[in-house]
Amino acid sequence: MTFVEARDLGVSYPILTAPARSLKNEILSRTTGGRIAGNSAGRVEVQALSQVNFTFRPGDRVALIGHNGSGKSTLLRVLAGIYHPTSGTIRSKGRVAALFDAAFGMDIDATGYENIVLRAKYLGVPRPEIDRRIDEIVEFSELGDFMAMPIRTYSAGMTARLAFAISTSVEADILLIDEGVSAGDAGFMAKANKRLRSVVDRSPIVVFASHDQGTMVNLCNRGLVLQSGQIQFDGPVNDAYAHYNKLIGAVVTEDLSAQGNLVA
């Protein structure tokens, strides 16, 4: 059965300033006892997540709630297997798909077709399935003959459409969505929303990070409030928002029932 389980999960990483990125300085500071090269060569550890515990099960639509820098994106990247925990454990079962900034990691010199195959190969999609997806992606993105052209000849909107179509063509057990999944012009937006909704609906577990409260309440049934890398609250999404708003001392002025748009 699909699940994700975190036990005392912690992630800390070094912020390396320019002097700390130099091997020459590193050696110099060793030989001089660190006095000349300055205080430990400007190394700062950031505790991005600490003592995080949760279990996600099928049916969970989890909203990650927190202000900038609270650890939402780090948590998503840990769930995606990109960052490794520095303490504690994370266990999961099921195919993970991540919808982050989709245009990131595309090869601008390669054609649209090649980018579809590249991305799919990275995700370990077998060849027959890739071929099936290509048709579907081409149809959805409405790029037609442009698919055989290098991406650098595309307009920003076209690139965004292709990226969106590729990243939402996934079949996953655990779907991770970071905010700012962009899909180009307004005409395309409605279509994109529908598609994103259908991906969300067919994924057993969804973890969503966004600042758009309307969307989150609409889409999720569980909320995790993060502050300074720690979980402050874990429960029904409306209660989570109530807790979060109390936490930041804000008054809820937004209409929670508003039909939020999934795509920014």
Partner 1 sequence: MKQALLDTIEGLKRGDLWVYLGWHDVKQRYRRSTLGPLWITLATAIMVAGMTVVYGGLFRQELKTFLPLVASGLVIWGFISGCISEGVNVFISASSTIKQLPAPLTVHVFRLVWTQFIYFLHNLVIVPVVVVIVGLPVSPTMLLVIPALFLLIANVTWICLLLGAIGARFRDVPLIVQSFMAALFMITPVLWQPSFLPPERQWVAFLNPFTYLVEIVRAPLLGNAPSLSMWLVTIAMAVGGGACATLLYSRSRAQIAFWV
Give the interface with partner 1 as residue ranges (CB under 8 A).
13-14, 16, 21-24, 26, 77, 80-84, 86, 96, 98, 100-101, 104-105, 107, 109-110, 114, 117-119, 121-124
* Nearest to partner 1 of 167, 213 (CB atom): 167
Q: For partner 1, which is the closer residue by CB, 15 or 248?
A: 15
Residue 76 CB, shortest distance to partner 1, in Å, is: 11
Quote the least distance from Cβ 98 to partner 1, whole Å. 8
- Of 77 and 161, which CB lies nearer to partner 1 in the complex structure? 77
Nearer to partner 1, 152 or 194 (CB): 152
CB of 92 to partner 1, least distance (A): 11
Taking the complex as a whole, the smallest distance from the CB of residue 104 to partner 1 amounts, in Å, to 5
| Closer of 65 and 90 to partner 1 (Cβ) | 90
Between CA 162 and CA 115 the distance in angstroms is 9
* Tokens 């799919």, residue located: 120
| Integer CA distances (angstroms), 139 to 102, 145, 170, 175, 188, in order | 18, 11, 15, 23, 13
Note every long-range contact of 164-169, with CB atoms under 8 Å and residues 24 or more positions apart, other chains counting. Answer: 164/102, 164/192, 165/137, 165/140, 165/141, 166/102, 166/115, 166/116, 166/119, 166/137, 167/97, 167/99, 167/102, 167/119, 168/99, 168/195, 168/196, 168/199, 169/133, 169/136, 169/137, 169/140
